[in-house]
Every structure is written in C-alpha cells, then in structure tokens.
Amino acid sequence: VLPPELVSQIAAGEVLERPASAVKELIENALDAEATRCDVSIEGGGLTLISVADDGSGMSAEDALLALERHATSKLNAFPELYEMTTFGFRGEALPSIASVSKLTLTTRTRDGEAGVELKLDGSTRPELRPVGCAVGTHVEVRELFHNVPARRKFLRSTGTEAGHVSDVVEAAALARPEVTFTLRRDGRRVREWLRTGSREARVADAHPGERLASCRGERGPLRLEAFLSPPERARTGAGGLSLFVNGRPVRDRALAVTVAQAYGSVLEKGRYPRGVVYLDLNPRLLDVNVHPQKSEVRFADPRAVTDAVYGILARALAGAFSLPSSPRGGAPRPAAQADTAIEPALLAEAAAAEISLEAAAAPGTDAAGLIFVRDSLTAPIRPGPQTTWSSLRFVAQLRQTYLLCEGSDGLYVLDQHAAAERVTFTRLRKQYQSRQVACQALLFPIVLEVGADEVALVEQRGREIAEVGLDLRVRGPGLLSVHAIPKLLQRGSPERLVHDLLGELARSGGRGFSDAVDLALATMACHGSIRAGDALTESTAAALLSALDLADFAGHCPHGRPVVTFTSWAELERRVGRR
Ligand SMILES: Nc1ncnc2c1ncn2[C@@H]1O[C@H](COP(=O)(O)OP(=O)(O)OP(=O)(O)O)[C@@H](O)[C@H]1O
Ligand SMILES: [Mg+2]
C-alpha cells in the first residue's frame, strides 16, 4: 500500500501536465463555485507563482480542510450522478494533487462567514490554519510548482511558452462562460481582460478580434449546436484556431474538428480547419465526461449521430452564410429569370424543418447576403447588399484572357474566369451527382490507360459507384483500364486526367467516406474540365457564367477555397483618382 503523499504525487502526474493544467483546475473550481469574476495571475510562466482569486461561494474552515484531502468533493455523491454532471469537477483530486507538488496557500470566506480562513500547505506537511480577514470567495496561491518533481520540470518549455498555454486556458474558460469576468496578469502586468457579457457570440467576437465569423445555429433531437466560424480563406493548417466545447467544457476531439472542416465541403483542403468556436450542448446522459484525467476529452454515447448532426447543420448553414444571393431569412427574392430554382427552395424547406437558422456575420455594416467579396487588398472581405446578384453585373471586357471585368451598381468587379467557371462546373456536377443523374458523354474511341494494380482493384471494387460520377471505366487486364464515357460537363478535360483525378482522390480517401472523396474528386475534376485562364470568352459565355454563379454555393470562392473576385467600390475609385 502506497503512502498517501505518494499516491497524490502520482495522481498529480496525470492531472498536472504543466502550469496551465493547474490554472485550468483552479479556474474550474472558481466557476463551479459560481464565481462572477476570476482573476488569474502568473509569474515565471506559472512555475514561480500561480494565483487564482474568485468571488464565488467560498468554504468554511472545515470544508477547506477537507477540500485538500484526496477524493473529497462537494460535487458528486453516487456514480450515476456522473451522467448528470453540470460542474467541471467531480474527481476530488485537483487541489490535493496541486498541493502535493507545490507550496499552496488557500484563503477563503463564505458569504455568511464572519472572517475568512487561511490554510498553508508545504509539500507533505499538515496544513497550518489561521483566521484572516478577506473578501468573500476563494484565493489560491501556488508557489514553486513541481519543485519536488525535477523530471516534470525538465519537460517544460520556456516560460514564454508555458505562459502562452496559461493564456489559452484562460481564453477557453472565458469562451465557456461568457457571463464571468476574467483577468490575466503576467509578471505583474495585465495581459488579458474579458469583461462579462450576455452572449457566447459577443465573447467569441472578443476572442477573435477583427475576424468575420458566420453564426450557425441548429438543433437535431437532443443536440443543440451554436458555432461561429471563419470564411474558408481564413482557414489554417491544423485545428489550432478552432475551439470546441461540449456542454460548456473545452474539449479536444479530432473527429469533431474534422467534421467541422468537412462541412465546408471541397473549399477546405484536407488538414485545413476554419478558425472559430463550436458549442455543442446535449443531454449529459448521452455523454461520458470521465474518460480523461484532465477532462479534455469526452466520449459520446453515439458518436456517429453527433458527427452526422454537426455535419448536417453546419454544411447547410455555411453554404448559406458564405454564398450568394441572399440569406433565406427575409432576404431579397431571386430574379425570376433564373433557371434551376427548384433546388434551393427544397434545400431551404429542409433547413427549416431541421430548425436551422442562418444568420449573417457579426461584422458591423454588413448585410444578410452571404457572398464574400474581397477588397483590393484581398484581406478585408466585404458583402454586397442583398440585391446584388452576379447576373445583375454588366460584363464589360475580358482582360488578359484571364479576368472578367464587370460593372455593378456599387463598383467594379474583377473575376478570375477559371475560378468562377470551376465553381459553376463543380456545383452543377455535384447537383447531378447528388441526384444520381450525371449526364455522360460517350467517347467515340475508348481510351486505354495504363494504371497500377491498386487502381485496377479500386475500379473492380467500386465500379458501380464510379459509374455514378459519370465515368464509364472498364478493366481491360492487369494494369489496363479503358475509358468509355466522361461527364458531359467536363468535356473540355482530358479523360486520362479525369480518371487520374478520381482514382487518386478515392485512393487517398483512406478512412473517409466514399462521398467525401467524391466531393474532392469532383472539385479536382471541375478544375481540369472547366474554362481556363487563356481561353477567350465571348460576351454571351461571360454573361452565362455570371448568371450561373448565382446558383453556385460559395460563389465567392473556387472549390479549393481561393477567392474568385475582387471589388473596388465607386467611392474607392473616386478617392483614388482624386475626385473626393
Ligand atoms: N474556488 C473554490 N470555491 C469554493 N469551493 C471550492 C473551490 N475550490 C475547491 N472548492 C471545494 O473543494 C473541493 C475539492 O476541489 P477539487 O478541485 O480538489 O475537487 P473537485 O473540483 O470536486 O473535483 P476535480 O478533482 O474533478 O476538480 C470541491 O469539491 C469544492 O467543494
Ligand atoms: Mg476541481
């Protein structure tokens, strides 16, 4: 039987990876005590000092003594309650773990306590207790963290890096609880301040200053989702800019992050993730929070149902938020002349059935229309008023056989013709594919291709599904395929290249579903089968392209996420030529 101090130190190894882990535990205790304010201060990256003060419930002297014992908690009585938890803590382990690897002072006073009490713990010694005058709430000071665990100290990074982790932890807590004020001081200097606010949206805006985030909300059965996500061109490699919260807990969940990225469809390459925040709220019974000592992971009773719901809600909301012509909520009516209107109303009805609300981004002065235009600098996205549609633009000229110069009521638009055509082809192809009606063009002379054994195996296994993409591919022998038909929309493309695109994407898809791989394949194929830079366009082709853009999702981006258009307002032009 191990002595209790040693047990605590071993537990501390799991719970406390670095100073930021201690800060996280102390903040969570403050929030569990219903604090409305939480002041965090660190010195030396948290190794010299961590101080967390709250204005929560406080503890009696008796409770404070108990709180420092292992497995003492006020938050849980019986195992089944774990599945109804609304507090962050439940293990009764954080304080004793921290105390076992530091010099800890806890000062606390309850609302009706006449005075406060101070407890000092120095490693394994019994706490010294004395009455003190102090404010209602709890203040924990942790000095010389890991002083008795030299191995742990060796693994730590520079104080700057450790302080950065602390800052991330405070930010996560602030995002989790917008109604609480947080401050962070580093070596005596106030570095962050989060004033309490009434909504998650406002807190997220504080956390992502200057970022134009689309608000997406939806519900599916017991699951409620609220997300604030960046446009695709602000995505970054890795999920570092994307915060996930499940029932208010900050969590790491790769599957969830991947699902969020996949909801952008082909505009995000694999491995790239949007910036922003996703809040998932569901019945706590459908969730196991007791899977990770730092509680940074949760397990869903039905993970598939969760990812399906998240994907379903976000895919529609994002397409709406980032596309032309108007938001379904009281936006402008579509011009009557447009064909293909059957699709969108059906989609909207479906969205309405799923109780999805699409909202315009939080940026001031923007409107509900979703298209992202990009200013000259390519950095400051703007949105046109809801009346602006691509087809209302007047095509003026083709420049360098690459750009379309167009005149709108509000300014000049320059479109990249290849990116625009690619987007239109992709949208049409995907609609055809989704209704399993890809129009094919038979080749007069089948083309024989030499390929690898893997690709032959792929065609043998997936022949029927591949046919649905509009490619008639047949196995001719070991290492030989023949192409008999290609999608009509991609007639400009070389059949060899299209086959290569599709098989390449399917082979790479690995664990992802076939349909995701097809989505990416369609994007690549659309790229290779569309009008290119260098193609001369007639006026009528250009006009047709503009009207077709009105029907393409994400009309402001090519399927690979590159912006399609730059905009210069008349006012800007006048300023530049000195008329203003
Ligand atoms: N800031 C605080 N204000 C009021 N009570 C607190 C505070 N911090 C801790 N406590 C009390 O001390 C107890 C022990 O805290 P500790 O963090 O060790 O365990 P826990 O929060 O119950 O569970 P976990 O180990 O999962 O965090 C808590 O259950 C709570 O009753
Ligand atoms: Mg705790």
| Per-residue model confidence (pLDDT) at position 244 | 97
How far does residue 413's CA lie from ligand 2's centre (Å)? 56
Check pocket membership of 184 for ligand 1, CB cut-off 6 A: no
List Cα–Cα distances, 285 to 81, 84, 92, 302, 386, in angstroms.
9, 6, 21, 11, 43
SS3 category, 488: helix
Lookup result for tokens 């699409």: 358
Centroid of ligand 2 to alpha carbon of 28 (angstroms): 6
- Does ligand 1 come within 6 angstroms of the Cβ of 74? yes
Which backbone phi and psi does 315 adopt, to 5 degrees? -55, -45
**Which one of 50, 95, 291 would you pick to mutate in the ligand 1 pocket, going by the greatest count of ligand atoms within 8 A of its CB?**
95
* Contact assessment for residue 573 and residue 412, using Cβ atoms and an 8 Å cutoff: yes
Q: Is 116 in the pocket of ligand 1 (CB under 6 A)?
A: no
DSSP 333: P
Binding site membership of 56 for ligand 1 (Cβ less than 6 Å) = yes
- CA gap 156, 161 in Å, rounded: 9
Long-range contacts at 79-82 (CB < 8 A, ≥ 24 apart): 82/288, 82/289, 82/290
19 touches 47 (CB < 8 A): yes
Residue 553 confidence (pLDDT): 60
Q: Is 563 in the pocket of ligand 1 (CB under 6 A)?
A: no
| 243: β partners | 277
pLDDT beneath 50: ranges in the chain: 324-387
Q: What is the pLDDT of residue 42?
A: 98
Is the shortest distance between the CB of 137 and ligand 1 below 6 Å? no
Q: Does residue 12 have its Cβ closer than 6 Å to ligand 1?
A: no
Question: How many CB atoms lie under 10 A from the CB of residue 36?
Answer: 15
- Find the ligand nearest to 138 CA: 1
**Which tens digit of pLDDT belongs to each residue from 406-464?**
998 888 888 888 888 888 888 888 888 888 889 998 988 889 998 888 888 888 888 88
Q: In this predicted structure, what is the pLDDT of residue 83?
A: 80
Ligand lying closest to the C-alpha of residue 59: 1
Do residues 118 and 158 lie in contact, with contact meaning Cβ atoms separated by under 8 Å? Answer: no
* C-alpha–C-alpha distance, residues 303 and 251, integer Å: 14
Residues in the chain: 580
So what's the pLDDT on residue 124?
60
Nearest CA to ligand 1 atom 9: 29
